[in-house]
Each structure stands twice: as C-alpha cells, then as structure tokens.
Structure 1
Amino acid sequence: MRKDLGAYRNELNQAIDFDRVLDQFAAHTSFSLSRSQIQNALPLQDRYQMQEKLDLVRESIGLFQSGSTLSLHGCHDIEPAVKKAVRQMVLSPQELLEIASFLMACQRVQNTLRDESYEKLVAYSETMQTCKSLMTKIQDCIDMSGSVKDDASALLVQKHQQLVHARQALISRSRDFVKKNASKLMEALTTTIAGRTCVLVKAGEKNAFGGMIHGQSQSGLAFYVEPSSFVSLNNEVQLALSQIEEEKHRICKELSRLTASFEVALLSNLETMTILDCAFAKAHWAIEKDGCVPLIQTQDRSMTLEFARHPLIDVNKVVANTYKLLKDQRVLMITGPNMGGKTVTLKTMGLCVALSHAGFPVCCHRAVLPYYRSVWFDIGDQQSIENNLSTFSSHVSSLAMICSKCDPFSFILLDEIGNGTDPAEGSALAIAILEYLIQKKATIITSTHYNAVKSYGKTHENILVASMQFDKESLMPTYKYLPGVSGASYAFSIARQYHLDSWILDKAKQIKEETEDSRNKELEKLEKLQNEVVLEKERFEKLIRDAHQLQKEAQETKEKLAHRKEVFEKEYQQRLEELLIKKEQEADALIEKLNKTTMVRPHEKTQLMHDLEALQPETKEKEEKDSFAVGDYVQIQDLNSHGEIIELRKKEAVVLTNGMKMKVKTNRLKKMKRPRLEKTQPKAHRDKTFVRVPLELNIIGCRVEEGLRSMDHYLDQCVAHHIKQVRIIHGMGTGKLRSAVWQDLKKHPMVKEYTSAGPSDGGLGATIITLK
C-alpha cells in the first residue's frame, strides 16, 4: 500500500486519530507483545489475512458474551529470556517464573477453548504445546516470589540445615560472649558487618579479644570487632551461604538448558498467545463500545454503516448516524455549515474503513464494507514550512499523488476539496478531480462548501449529496446526517450571532444577490425546501414515535392489569381449594366414623349421612342426567358402597346397602350392573358370628411397618370375602407412608391394579385398589 510505512502511519494518525483509537484497544491487552502489535497495526492488503483476524474477533465476542471469564493473566513476553537461554546464558529465577506463568496461561486457554462452536479459537489453542515437563520442573524449583525454593534439591536442603546449625552455634557463642564481657562493650548486643557477626567494643578494649576490626563508630569511642572466638563460626556461616548460592546457580543453569531445548515450542506458543490476546482485546473493546465485527464484501462497491459513532467522542454526547452508499454511488458529498459535523463524519467513516481493513471491530451496530487495497486521506491543513508549501499547495500535492495511484479498489477521504484558493477556480478544480476519480471507479467521501460543486453533485448519478443538519433557529449543529439533502452554509446567520455589525451583513447580502446567478438562487431555494421537508418528516416521525410510546404504555398497563387479575384469580382459587380441603377432611372424618360404627343405631346412621350430605359442595346440574327408578342398582361414589334403590323422592333416593337404608342425593349415585352372586356349597363347619369387612381401611397416624401390616391383613380378609374394590386411607403427610403402601401393593399377588383416589374420595391421601 505504501513503501514508507512510517509516513503512512503518521498520515493515518493525523487524518483520523488512528493511534488514539488503537490505544483504546491496547488498554485491553494482557502483556506487552500484544499491546505493541495492536499499537503498530495498519490496514492490510491481504483480504484472507484480514478476514482471519475479523473471524477471531467475532468468535471472541461470542465467547465472552456466553459468560466465559477466560483470563490471560500471567502472560509475559518470554522471547528475550528464551533467546538468552539459547545463547547458553543462565536465566534468573524471576525469568524462569515468568516462563512457568506463561505456560500456565497457555494451559488455561487450552482448557477453556474446547467448545467446537469456536472453531478458529480452538484451532489456535490446539497448536500450542503444554511443555508440561518444563513447567513442572520450574514450579518444583522456583516459588511464586521468584526465588529458588529451599528444597529445590537434596544438596540445597543439606546446606540450609548446615546454615541453620552454624547460625545457632554462633548465636549461642555470641550470647555467652556478651554476657561475660559486658563491661568492655558499648552495648550488650551483637551486630552484623558484611554478613559477619560482631560486637561494639569500647575504644580502649579493641585489641582485648583478638580477631578482626571491621570499623569504627562515628563518635570514635567504639570499634566494630569480630572476636577470634567468632571467626570460625562466621566462616562456617559464610561458607554455607556461598555453597547455597552455588547450588541455586546450578539449578537455574539446569533449568535454563531445559528452557533452551523447548525454544521452538515456547516461541510458537508466544506467537499464538499474542494472536489470541489481540483478538480478546478487540472483543472487549467491541463489547464495551457496543460495536460489531464488519463484513467485508467483494460483490460491489456498496457500503452500509448503521448507527456509526466516533469512539473518541463521549458516549453521552456522540450522535449515532447511519451512512449508506449504493453500488452505483461512487461519491458521498457532505455539505453544510462550518462546525456542523462534516469533518467528524468523514473521520468516522474513514476510521471504520481503516479499522475493518486492519482486522478490528468498528463502533457500529452493523457494518458492511467493500474490500479496498488502498486507503487515502487528505484531511486538515498540511502546509509545510520546510518544503515551502502553502495549505492549497499541500492539498494539491496530496491530490496529485492520490489521482496517480488510486484504482477501483481505493478508498479516498477528501475534506473541503478545492479549498484554499479562488472559489471559482477551486470549484472547477474540485469538479474535475471528482470526475477523474469517478472514472477510475474509486470510492470517495468528500465535503464542500461550494455551490457549484453541490450543483454538480445534485446532477450526477454516481454522487450522493448529503448534509449535516443545522438548527437555523438556535444556530447550533445537531450532528444528524441527512442523506439526499444539501445543506446551506448559514454564514450570515452565524455571523449575526457573533454580533458582527448589521451594516456589514446587509452589504454582504446585497453583494451576494448581485453576484449570484439564477442557478445558485434556485439551488438555495431548493435547499430551503428540502430542509423544510426534512423538518416536517421529523415532526411526523416524532408523532409516530409518540403514538408508539402511548401504545407501548397502554400495552404495559393492560399487561399489568392482566397480571393483577391473574394474581387475584390464583388467590381466590387457593382459598377455594383450602376450603374444599377442609370440607373434604370433615367428610373423611364422618365417613371414617360411619365405617367404624358397625353397630350404630339407624337414627344415628341417618343423622351422620345428613351431616355428610351437608358438606357436599353445590354443583351445577348436568344437562344430561342419569334417570333413576326404584329397583336400579347404583353405586354411592364418595363411599364406594353400592346397593338397590328402594324409594325415590325428587332429588333423593333411599338405597339399601349392606343391610342398611341410606338416604342419598341422586347426584352422588351412578348406575352399575348388579353383582352376580355365586352359589357356594354350605361348609361343614360355619362360624356362628358373621363378620362384615368394611370397604376401606384408615391407616393415618400409623408407622410404616404397622400400617403395612394392617393393610396386608385387611387385604387378606377382603380376598377371603370376595371384595373386588377397596380404599386405603393413608393421608398426604410427608408422602412416606403413601410411597410405602404403593411399593407393597406393587408386590402383592392378589392386587390387580391401584391408583390414587379421585378428588371426592380423598385425592392423593387415599388409594383405590382393585383385587383379582
């Protein structure tokens, strides 16, 4: 793209603040190598390399949005240390620790990136070698503070033990010495000089103990003396320390040799981790800025940047705009007054193109960009004193180079084309340059103030004229992009706001009207009409947004009321169910009393039945009822009893069941076939007393073993008396007794089937059993 990359980088930095935006990305990196790689990034010419970088960013964004907390903490630029080891130099413990930390980070990445949906990230992570033997060896010898461990080798352990013993002996001897010679010492303490234990002796006694004199106090009244009795023990301590340092050096030397043997794997891992760290940093930036990964397309020259923002502008102040160029539109010409946002728009679009072609995400909600092989900029005042170039000369010099080197795969950004010279000549030059670039099929984003250039753009099929909206009442820019609308300069209005003399303004208007041709007047009228249309459109869109907001609020209110209604209905249903459960419990108690009182008197039985009847909830009459007649055989549903109707009175019937008369409402009756009585031969010996087996058994309150024993005995009686269907009442409780009952029934040889009772028969608190 450029031979002089340094000059090209400076051009990008001056034109679109490329370096400042790259610094935002670099702030998310984990170590220096990836940080440097991002800060030195430039747009690429290789489309496949560009796409590879963008795909990595896309997968990284998906990885972090899925909740992954992958961290590259511990990564370091280990290349200098590895190269040092290869040159047979000894690495420091700190350098070895950085290599181990780096390998641990590689291992974490491999353990995290196992999801096949992140194809490229997984492919990169799988290329890394764990170098487990090197990492383990370093971790065994180097602690987390970057020092050799005391137990890194057997010899090191031994030397540390010798050091401890020597120091203990020296401490003991020095304590005895101080105690014995306290009168000759300035202080009853020992001190250390150059690693050797000494005492502070009075000046007159400095030669009294032999040994060595290591120095004099500042006052000259005392000397630091190493008594002869200390010398041998001090020597032992120093020897042990020296041997320890030698052994540590030997361990580091051995680890350095091992590191050198892993040179290729370590440097390959470093390259991979740098690529991944750059991708992760870009992903974090995109999530933070609510950006996206651009799509680079090669089908045509169309461009779409939806809700594009400049990342250097405060997020609370920046105005998002959508920019589009159709496949036949080669030029986007932005017009409008100064300070209206034209340059910011140019820089935003240029930055999106440069970032996407360098493999970075952009600050948009959606971005589709053509593939460009070269990117050119001419923004700002580039006058040069050294080269004797004026503003216009520098522009012309830049334009000349762009025109000579551009092609259909060039993106060109031109701010105020033709500016800096006579307006008539500047306009003509701008039109000619644009015509030439259009013929070369390059993509151009430009801005202009010249009416002649705007008129040319309005009539050219390959040019889209747009403007930045300006509030003519407040004379303040809104920074909103208006495609298809050319903007007025508002020069006189802005000048009036800054209190320029009214005579000057009136004279300027007069001169303008005299010199302005009819075409420019018509163009100005058209611009005013377009602005009025845009304002009306905005008012209409605001009314639509307000209507949508009211509709949304009404829908939310409706949903709240529906939710409140649902809550009320649930509460009502819950209270109703609680009431029904209470009634069912009372009914169960009466039924249990009926079943237990086999010898009850008739009038008491009738009273209990009336009480039970009173507990039944009112039900709606069915449209089609069973019709009953005297002599029908029926079943009493909630009692699981059956018998013959002997009397019928409106909604009540008298049923003969088990030798007793019961008055029951007809809605509790159900017709059934009369059971067939089998004729049996009279037994030789028959019990004189007749035992009637009840049709249900209540084991509520029993322990599991006791309840199962009672049920088994009850079922044996039922089988003996040819009873086919019974009910076991076990209650709800914790469900433990019910579960045990069902487990026992599953194994019972005479049980045909069993199921939970219906709502009127006890629900989950009872089980209906059908016997074989």
Structure 2
Amino acid sequence: MNEKILATLEFDKIKGQLTPFLASAAGQREVAALLPASDLTTINHWLQETEDGADLLRLEGGIPLPSLADVTPQLKRLKLQASLNGTELAQIGQVLRASMAVQNFFNQLVEKKVRLRTIDRAVGRLVTIPNITKRLLVAIDPDGRVTDEASSKLHGLRQLITQTEGEIRHELERYTRGKAAKHLSEPIITVRDERYVIPVLAKYRSQFGGVVHDQSATGQTLYIEPASVMELNNRLRSAQIEERQEVRRVLAELSALIAPYRQEIAQNEAILGHLDFINAKAKLAAQTKASLPLVNDEGIVYLRGARHPLIDPAKVVANDIILGQDYQAIVITGPNTGGKTITLKTLGTLQLMAQAGLFITAKENSQVTVYDNIFADIGDEQSLEQNLSTFSGHMANVKQILAAMTANSLVLLDELGAGTDPKEGAALAMAILDQIGTVGSQVVVTTHYPELKVYGYDRERTINASMEFDQETLQPTYRLLLGIPGQSNGIAIAKRLGLPTSVTAVAQSLVADDSQELNAMIGDLVEQRKQVREKNEALEKTLADAKTKDATLTAKLDRFNEQRDKLYEDARNKANHQVAQAKKKADAIIHHLRQLQVKQGTAVKEHELIDAQGALNALHQDPRLKRNPVLQRAKAKHNLKVGDAVLVKSYGQQGELMSKRGQHKWEVQLGILKMEIDEADLEKLDKKQLNRQDEKAPKRMRVRTIQTRRTGARLDLRGHRYEQAQGELSDFIDHALLNNLPSVTIIHGKGTGALRKMTQEYLRSNPRVKSFSYASPSNGGDGATIAYFE
C-alpha cells in the first residue's frame, strides 16, 4: 500500500489500538512493522491466526505470556563472548521460561482436543532448553540478583557475611546502648568506606580508639571504627570481595552456558513476540466487538453494519456498504456534515484492517476483497492533510492516482471537482470518473454537483447514494442510502438557522422549478425508504423473537417427551415388579393347594394348577413394549365394581370380581383359584352376555385329568435363546414341583454365562427352591446347576 493512504486513513492509530494489549518488545516491533498485504493467501493466513487467538481468548483467556524485554542487544554481546550482567541474564531466562510455559500450554490444548487452524505450527518451532533454563532460574532472580543457590561457594560466603555483620553490630551496640552512648551524636550504627562505624562527637575523640573514616560537614561529628571491630570489619571486607568475585564468575559461567544457543533464543523471542501480537489482535477484536471478514479475490465488498473503528461506538452509526458485484462506482451526493467523508474513510479503513489480518468493526459474514492498492483524495476538515484543500492540490493528487491505479485498485475521492467553477468542476469530475471506469478500478466519490446525480443514474455499473436527512428536523442521521441521490437542503437549513425569511424566499424563487421538483421527489423517496427500513427492522425483530420462541418451545417439547418416556418406563418396571411379587405369592398358594390335595384329598385338578401358573407368568410384559392405545380406550370405558361378572380375556374364562387391588388390579375368582388380574385384561359381562356365554359353552362332563407330560429330572437349555430358555425353565420347575420331585438338574452350559446367570436368578427368586449348587465335576461342573425343593 502507498504511504499516503496509510496516513490519510490514520492506519497508525489503528495499530496504536493494539499497543495496550502487548506484553513483549518483539510484539511491539511486529506491530510497528505491520502493513496491509495484497496477497489472498497471506491475508487468509493472518486472519486464521487472529481467529485462533480469538478462540483461545474465549476458551482459555488467551495465550499466557509474561512481560518480555528486548534481548537482541544481549545476544549480540554474547556473540562477542561478553559476560552479561544479572539483569540481562534474567531477561534471557524469562524468554526461555516463557517458551517452556507456552509449549506446555499448547500441549494441554492437544489433550483437551482444542483444534486450531495455524497458530500451533509456530509453537512447534519453539526450542526449549530445560536444563539451562532451570539453571538460569535457580541462579538469577527475576530482578537480576544472583541468588545464594548459584554456587555452593557463594552460599557459604554470604552466610559468612551475614554472620560477621551480626557480630559487628553486636559489638558496636555496646557503644550505642552503653555508657558511651552519651559521647555519640546519635546512637546509631552506620557505614563509611564500606566499614561499620559509629558517629562520635569530636570533643570525645580521645575516649575512643580506632580509625576515623569520615566527619560531618560541620566537623562536630567523627565517624570512628573502634579498634574492637577492626578485625571483624577486615573479615567482612574480605568476604565481600570474594563474594563479588564469585558473582562475576557465576555470571561469566552462565553467559558461556547460553552463548551456543543464541540463534534458538532469538527465534524463540520472535515466535513469542508473534504470539503476543496475535493475542493483542484477539483482545482488540473482543474490545471493539469486531468480527472475522470473509475475503475474496473477486472484487466484491459487502460490509454489514460497518463502523469506523476510531469513532466512539456509542456515537457511531453503522452502515451497509456494497461495492463490486452489481456496480463498481458509487456517487454519494448531498449537503455537508451528513457523514459522506466518514463513509469513505470507513470503507478504506476496514479494507486496510482486513488486509492486515485484523478483524473489522462490522457484523459477521461481512465480505472484503483484496485490492493491490487503495488511493484517496480526502481534503476536508475531517482529514489530517489540509495541504490538499485547494483545487490545484486536489488535481495534483488525482493526477498521481490516475497514473498509478489498476483494475484491482480502490479509489476514494472526496468532493471531486470542488474549488472551481461548478459547471467546469462537474464536467471534470465526470471525465475523471469515466477514466477510472475505463481502467476498471472501483471508486467511491462524494460531491455536491447535481450533474453527478444524473451521471450516477445514466452510467453503467454506477449507482447513486446519499446520506439520510430527517425531513422534520433537517438533521443528518448518518445513514447511507444506496440507490437514492442526495437532496439539497441548503435553503431549508438556512431557515432553521434563523436567516431572514425575506432572504430565503428570494433564494427559493431563484431556484429552477425542475430542481425544486427533483428535490421534492428525492425527499419523497428518502421518506419512503425510511418507512420501509423501519418496517423491515420491525419484521426482523418479530422474526427473531419468533425463532427464539420456536427454539424454546422445541427444547421444552423435547424435554417433555423425554420425561414422559421415562415416566412410562418407570411405570412399566414398577408394574412388572408388582407382578413378580404377586407371582411369588401365587407360588405359595399353589404349593398350599397341592399340599391339601396330597394330605386331605381335596379335589384340585392338576391342569388347573398348571393353567394358573401359566396365567401368572403371562402377566409380565416387556418394558420395551409401548402401551396399546386401543386397550387404553377400552379400559377407560370399563366401570368395574365388586361382584361384577367379568371375562378374563387372556384365558377366555369367566370369573367374579372379589376386591380392588391397587389402582388398576382386581382380585378375580376363577373357579377354585383367586388371581390378581390387570383391569386391561378384564371385560365386564352384563346378564345378556353372561347368558349368551352360557349358551355357547359346551355341557360340562366329568372327566379324569391325567398328567400327559412326563417330567424328567434334567432340563437341557444349551443352544436356546435367552427368552425361550427362561420360559422353558419356569415351565420345567412348575411341573417338577407338581410331580413332587426332590431335586432337578438344569444344564445351561458355560459359554458367556448368560444362561447360567438367568437360571440362578430365577431359582433365587422362587420361594419353593430351598437351595441350589453347581453339579459335581463328573456331571458337568459349573455348566449345570442342581436345584433342591422344600
């Protein structure tokens, strides 16, 4: 990009917005060197980095980077084999430590399965030197002080210094706190020439031995080192000298240690600076509510709700700016102070930002294109360059633009042709626009000339535009209206500002009728456009509200369906549990009846017992089955009460209701058996149906029932399906009990263990089973189970 457009559109101020978010000198250097690119691949790469930074800012609070100083001078000194001081080594250590921290941060992102687009490639080039980094961090404090742990000798020397200083202070306190304190100007211990001394009044000099190291400005006080501490001071001084020598040795050692890694450290600093720059771009985007632009190389610009980034967000008016698809030239007309120049600058500035890899202050899915260059001639009071405000200056600038522009350039011209005769200026402006159109550059121009309104209407791929004015208040709304030329409101504004009516009336009479009609037509179009926009905004708001409500209702319906299905499932499981409990009770009843038959000769038929057992087993329903709506409707029609004659549909037998059991269960007398039956399986019989059933029923004959199935002591379930095996096992156990078998063997095999588990669970739940165990190894081992009955 040419330097003039960067200055005109204040691109340095845009970059200045990044500065508060930077933490490193390398990042500041990168921002200072930032320029828009004109290559689509490069721009997309930069924007992907910014998008990665925005994602990390949202998910993790950004990339963790400390404040990093510029270490370039230190690395140059290392190249010359110089020894760095503690502060310089601490700054290099900070770079190495930050490199390790950043690498660990991105490793954790991999574990969290956070997917990035491109930024992790830069992190992959970081070089970590763990041992040297640890050595630096242990030996040098962040403020550059060499620590006691830098070497064992240094640790010992500092302990000696501390101990000696303590002894000296203890000795000198005899003077500051004893009888000699009255001979001191102040009861304190101080230092002169790096030796501990006490301030003695000059007239008492003879009371103290030792050496005088200094005196006060008045000569009234002498700073004396008593003889009693001279040896201690000598020892302290010697230890201090050795300490300094050891510190220099440690610094030289550390400098030599990191010297071979100069290039790696420089590379790390650059990478960390680049990550810092990406962090800053993401934070700026979050602060300004900027969004990722979609970039194309087809010359299409569609900025949705574009805002100038340097204007207070609370005051700026957002506009849609469309260029390049249906037209390549926009002619914005209308009076001053309406926002025409800001619109030009907004378009140019957002293009520069996008081509520099920054998010733009526009709504999501805004489109920008890639221009090889952007040219501008903006010379009004809103520009930084007042030297182009004259006609000659404008023309000199336009001349340079016409010479440099290409078919892939954007030209922004403010008040084209101003500063000369209006007719000549308008003619010149149209000729310039024709030349730009011939080359193929895209252009946005602002003007006051009414002739250009006709130009915008007649020329191919050219559209008129204006900045909206409120017809009632005659105040600008700063909204861009595409397709409508600007209306001249000079006389009306003069009236509002208090110009005498006699003057404005004369001016009005001098305006041509066709011009007045044109202004009236434009005013009507503006008013209609405003009404359409307001209605459209209201419809969009209504549509958004409807979508929100629809999403809410859909979510609530889904939750309702889930809860309903869960309640159905819980109810079925509960019902099956109740059936299982009833089955246990029925088994006990059957056992009791069989005992009566055996001991008392009660006439209880065996087939009736078997049928009762089978009916109880049939009460279990699969929890996966859905409720039958037909049965639900039939059940709703039933009005059952104790004493009613009913038909048990599953057995085809008649019975009598004895009592209500639970909410949907009835105790039914079937012959000599009493059974608990679900009311969905009952059909109420009136007298007519009862008589009809009796007529259809064959005459009962006294017959002798003989057990036709020969029950053996073994049941082989191998190769059977789970449900089939479950039914056979239940039937087998019932017949075994009716035949008074003391024990039975169930062969279920080993396999997956499913049949074995099912067998043992059934035996455990059957109250007639006294115990069970695996068969002996010779009879199948854990592939067969022997059940013993009471």
Would you call these one fold, judging by a TM-score over 0.5? yes
Tell me, yes or no, if the aligned pair for 2:430 and 2:452 is still in contact at 8 Å.
yes
Please give the alpha-carbon distance, in whole angstroms, between the structure 2 residues aligned to 1:560 and 1:371: 43
Output the amino acid matched with 1:535. K
Output the amino acid matched with 1:676. R
Which of the numbers 626, 648, 653 marks the counterpart of 2:670? 653
Output the amino acid matched with 2:265. L
Please give the alpha-carbon distance, in whole angstroms, between the structure 2 residues aligned to 1:568 and 1:388: 75
Tell me, yes or no, if the aligned pair for 1:383 and 1:390 is still in contact at 8 Å.
no
SS of the residue corresponding to residue 262 of structure 1 reads helix
CA deviation digits over 1:306-338, x for unaligned, max 9? Answer: 222212233333332222123462212222332
* 1:230 is aligned to 2:262: no
What is aligned with 1:147?
Answer: 145
SS of the residue corresponding to residue 189 of structure 2 reads strand
Please give the alpha-carbon distance, in whole angstroms, between the structure 2 residues aligned to 1:188 and 1:475: 83
CA deviation digits over 1:347-386, x for unaligned, max 9? Answer: 11010122222332222223433322222111133899x9
Please give the alpha-carbon distance, in whole angstroms, between the structure 1 residues aligned to 2:551 and 2:386: 68
Tell me, yes or no, if the aligned pair for 1:74 and 1:98 is still in contact at 8 Å.
no
Q: Quote the offset at 1:460 in angstroms.
A: 0.5
Tell me, yes or no, if the aligned pair for 1:301 and 1:328 is still in contact at 8 Å.
no
Deviates more, 1:215-224 or 1:469-478: 215-224
CA deviation digits over 1:30-55, x for unaligned, max 9? Answer: 22332243244333355554443233
Give the TM-score normalised by structure 1: 0.74
Tell me, yes or no, if the aligned pair for 2:410 and 2:441 is still in contact at 8 Å.
yes
Q: What is the RMSD computed on CA atoms of the aligned residues?
A: 4.9
What is aligned with 1:204?
Answer: 203
What is aligned with 1:33?
Answer: 26
CA deviation digits over 1:608-641, x for unaligned, max 9? Answer: x9xxx9xx99x966899334469xxxxxxx9xxx
Output the amino acid matched with 2:649. K
* 1:307 is aligned to 2:308: no
What is aligned with 2:525?
Answer: 530
SS of the residue corresponding to residue 412 of structure 1 reads strand
Provide structure 2 residue ranges, at least 5 long, that are not aligned to the other structure.
598-611, 621-630, 636-646, 655-660, 662-666, 683-705, 714-728, 730-736, 775-783
Output the amino acid matched with 1:653. L
* 1:82 is aligned to 2:75: yes
Please give the alpha-carbon distance, in whole angstroms, between the structure 1 residues aligned to 2:552 and 2:353: 46
Matches within 5 A, 1:165-180: 165-176=163-174
Deviates more, 1:63-72 or 1:274-283: 63-72
Give the TM-score normalised by structure 2: 0.72
Matches within 5 A, 1:40-439: 40-45=33-38, 48-67=41-60, 69-113=62-106, 115=110, 117-176=115-174, 182=180, 185-186=183-184, 189-216=188-215, 222-298=221-297, 300-327=298-325, 329-364=327-362, 365-381=364-380, 391-439=390-438
Please give the alpha-carbon distance, in whole angstroms, between the structure 1 residues aligned to 2:590 and 2:379: 103
Which of the numbers 12, 17, 31 marks the counterpart of 2:6? 12
Tell me, yes or no, if the aligned pair for 1:308 and 1:363 is still in contact at 8 Å.
yes
Residues 547 and 113 (structure 1), Cα distance of their counterparts in 2 relative to 1, 3 Å cut: closer
Q: Quote the offset at 1:561 in angstroms.
A: 8.6
Output the amino acid matched with 1:441. G
Deviates more, 1:453-462 or 1:222-231: 222-231
SS of the residue corresponding to residue 215 of structure 1 reads strand
Matches within 5 A, 1:547-586: 547-548=542-543, 551=546, 555=550
Residues 754 and 445 (structure 1), Cα distance of their counterparts in 2 relative to 1, 3 Å cut: farther
Q: Quote the offset at 1:392 in angstroms.
A: 2.0
Output the amino acid matched with 1:381. D
Please give the alpha-carbon distance, in whole angstroms, between the structure 1 residues aligned to 2:520 and 2:756: 102
SS of the residue corresponding to residue 151 of structure 1 reads helix
CA deviation digits over 1:534-589, x for unaligned, max 9? Answer: 13423542553465367458758966996998799799989989997998899699
Tell me, yes or no, if the aligned pair for 1:213 and 1:223 is still in contact at 8 Å.
yes
Q: Quote the offset at 1:201 in angstroms.
A: 2.9
Output the amino acid matched with 2:13. R
Residues 448 and 674 (structure 1), Cα distance of their counterparts in 2 relative to 1, 3 Å cut: farther
Please give the alpha-carbon distance, in whole angstroms, between the structure 1 residues aligned to 2:648 and 2:226: 123
Provide structure 1 residue ranges, at least 5 long, that are not aligned to the other structure.
603-608, 631-637, 639-649, 655-660, 681-695, 697-714, 726-743
Output the amino acid matched with 2:523. K
Q: Quote the offset at 1:206 in angstroms.
A: 0.8
Please give the alpha-carbon distance, in whole angstroms, between the structure 2 residues aligned to 1:387 and 1:594: 110
Please give the alpha-carbon distance, in whole angstroms, between the structure 2 residues aligned to 1:388 and 1:329: 32
Q: Quote the offset at 1:150 in angstroms.
A: 0.9
Please give the alpha-carbon distance, in whole angstroms, between the structure 2 residues aligned to 1:144 and 1:85: 20
Residues 228 and 449 (structure 1), Cα distance of their counterparts in 2 relative to 1, 3 Å cut: same
* 1:722 is aligned to 2:757: no
* 1:676 is aligned to 2:674: no
CA deviation digits over 1:449-479, x for unaligned, max 9? Answer: 2110111111111212222222212323222
SS of the residue corresponding to residue 197 of structure 1 reads strand
Tell me, yes or no, if the aligned pair for 2:324 and 2:442 is still in contact at 8 Å.
no
Tell me, yes or no, if the aligned pair for 2:86 and 2:144 is still in contact at 8 Å.
yes
* 1:449 is aligned to 2:443: no
Deviates more, 1:283-292 or 1:501-510: 283-292
Residues 761 and 575 (structure 1), Cα distance of their counterparts in 2 relative to 1, 3 Å cut: farther
Tell me, yes or no, if the aligned pair for 1:719 and 1:771 is still in contact at 8 Å.
no
Output the amino acid matched with 1:663. K
SS of the residue corresponding to residue 206 of structure 1 reads helix
* 1:753 is aligned to 2:759: yes
SS of the residue corresponding to residue 301 of structure 1 reads coil
SS of the residue corresponding to residue 313 of structure 1 reads coil
What is aligned with 2:15?
Answer: 22
Q: Quote the offset at 1:188 in angstroms.
A: 5.6
Please give the alpha-carbon distance, in whole angstroms, between the structure 1 residues aligned to 2:127 and 2:357: 26
Please give the alpha-carbon distance, in whole angstroms, between the structure 1 residues aligned to 2:555 and 2:130: 60
Residues 229 and 497 (structure 1), Cα distance of their counterparts in 2 relative to 1, 3 Å cut: same
SS of the residue corresponding to residue 18 of structure 2 reads helix
Deviates more, 1:264-273 or 1:431-440: 264-273
Output the amino acid matched with 1:443. Q
Tell me, yes or no, if the aligned pair for 1:492 and 1:505 is still in contact at 8 Å.
yes
SS of the residue corresponding to residue 223 of structure 2 reads strand
Residues 316 and 723 (structure 1), Cα distance of their counterparts in 2 relative to 1, 3 Å cut: farther
SS of the residue corresponding to residue 753 of structure 1 reads helix
Task: Report sequence identity in percent.
Answer: 26
Please give the alpha-carbon distance, in whole angstroms, between the structure 2 residues aligned to 1:437 and 1:572: 74
What is aligned with 1:739?
Answer: none
Tell me, yes or no, if the aligned pair for 1:304 and 1:324 is still in contact at 8 Å.
yes
SS of the residue corresponding to residue 238 of structure 1 reads helix
Output the amino acid matched with 2:304. E
Please give the alpha-carbon distance, in whole angstroms, between the structure 1 residues aligned to 2:540 and 2:371: 39
What is aligned with 1:626?
Answer: 650
Please give the alpha-carbon distance, in whole angstroms, between the structure 2 residues aligned to 1:675 and 1:501: 125
What is aligned with 2:675?
Answer: 664
Q: What is the count of residue pairs matched by the alignment?
A: 670
What is aligned with 1:641?
Answer: none
Please give the alpha-carbon distance, in whole angstroms, between the structure 1 residues aligned to 2:304 and 2:476: 21
Please give the alpha-carbon distance, in whole angstroms, between the structure 1 residues aligned to 2:484 and 2:648: 76
Please give the alpha-carbon distance, in whole angstroms, between the structure 2 residues aligned to 1:351 and 1:321: 14
Residues 402 and 420 (structure 1), Cα distance of their counterparts in 2 relative to 1, 3 Å cut: same
Please give the alpha-carbon distance, in whole angstroms, between the structure 1 residues aligned to 2:44 and 2:528: 42
Please give the alpha-carbon distance, in whole angstroms, between the structure 2 residues aligned to 1:145 and 1:595: 92
Residues 129 and 653 (structure 1), Cα distance of their counterparts in 2 relative to 1, 3 Å cut: same
SS of the residue corresponding to residue 95 of structure 1 reads helix
Deviates more, 1:49-58 or 1:576-585: 576-585
Please give the alpha-carbon distance, in whole angstroms, between the structure 2 residues aligned to 1:357 and 1:496: 46
Output the amino acid matched with 2:759. E
Please give the alpha-carbon distance, in whole angstroms, between the structure 2 residues aligned to 1:326 and 1:596: 94
